[in-house]
Structure 1
Amino acid sequence: MNASPARPTMSAAAVLANDDGEYLIVKPGYKDGWNLPGGGVDEGETPRQACRRELKEELGIDRTPGRLLLSAYVHTADGAHIYWVFDGGTLTAEQQQAIVLQESELTAFRFSTPSEISPNEIPSSRRPLWDAALGALMGSSTVHLEVVG
């Protein structure tokens, strides 16, 4: 590993729930595994602005994300990345039915409990981020992680 970390890229995502205690996950068409809904932070955007834009673009959901659940700095052999994960709140049945996938980005979505998401559906380097974000959702504080590996 380099002595100094690379300039990180950034992405912002939201934890969106339903009334059954399940969370919305999405399947990108351009890589393996499932993700929380969200995407890259563009130049000039705050992470919260990027999260809102990505939810609208990818799912047709127009809402301002709530409190910050997780900030994470991840440095791997592929580079460095900063993740911002916000509380997206609970979607009503009507909002769930109104989801429209951005077909150029996503191929599927579903609501799942954390235990229903198999280890091969989330890259192992990202599972601690999911677990920390969901833990923060149940609590009242923001979690910060630094993962170097």
Structure 2
Amino acid sequence: MSTASEYDKGLPRKRAAAGVLFFDEAGRVLLVDPVYKEPWEIPGGAVEADESPLQGARREVKEELGIAPAIGDLLGLDWTAPRPERSEGLVTIFDGGVLTPEELRSIRLPADEIRSFEFVPVDELDTRLIPLLARRVRACVSARKQGLTVYMENGHPVS
């Protein structure tokens, strides 16, 4: 780790998070039910200092699901505006692909963090996720089907 210059120390900082979309054979998206907040989420979380978004995504998946599957391409990047109790941030979403039966059997949820997980059809995301996350996940699912990466602002694709 290098020492930051005075110029660098004066630059603005943004909150960063990373998540992973996993799918089953039917194309449903894996969601997790966190113990510490409502509602449901996708696997992922805050990127730590000096950690890349991909490293953060891998670490969070290991912590939340107890597995270390291959994580594929970047599906989307979402800038989120500041809102009450949250600063602005950048969220990266990676493609975890279709989980194998062996990977599914290997999932071990930490009781102090994740209550359960479930595969949910894309058209039911609004019933489980906050609107911002539902928009983000739908945009990334669409990008995945097209073999693209999507840039979003507050979950809305920007062309």
TM-score by length of 1: 0.88
- Residue 3 of structure 1 is matched in structure 2 by none
The answer for the alignment partner of 1:140 in structure 2 is 147
2:122 equivalent in structure 1? 114
Note the C-alpha offset of 1:120: 4.0
Q: Is 1:90 equivalent to 2:98 in the alignment? A: yes
Matches within 5 A, 1:1-149: 7-78=13-84, 79-117=87-125, 119-147=126-154
Q: Which range moves more in the overlay, 54-63 or 139-148?
A: 139-148
Contact 2:69 2:103 in 1 (8 A): no
Q: What displacement does 1:116 show?
A: 3.0
Task: Point out the structure with max Rg over C-alpha.
Answer: 2
What's the % identity of the aligned pairs? Answer: 32
Do the aligned residues in 2 keep the contact of 1:69 with 1:143 (CA within 8 Å)? yes
CA RMSD of aligned residues (A): 1.7
1:43 is displaced (CA, Å) by 0.6
Q: Secondary structure at the match of 2:97?
A: strand
Question: Which string of whole-angstrom CA distances, capped at 9 and with x for unpartnered residues, describes residues 106-146 of structure 1?
Answer: 111001111233x3421122221111111111111110112
For 1:54-84, what per-residue CA distance to the aligned partner results, in whole angstroms no more than 9, with x for missing partners? 1111101112411000100001323212110
Bigger fraction of residues in strand = 1
Q: Structure 1 CA distance, aligned partners of 2:150 and 2:135?
A: 11
The letter of the residue matching 2:138 is D
Q: Which segments of 5 or more consecutive residues in structure 1 lack a partner in the other structure?
A: 1-5
Q: Which has the higher contact order (CA 8 A, sep 6+)?
A: 1
Task: Flag the structure with higher helix content.
Answer: 2
How many residues are matched? 142
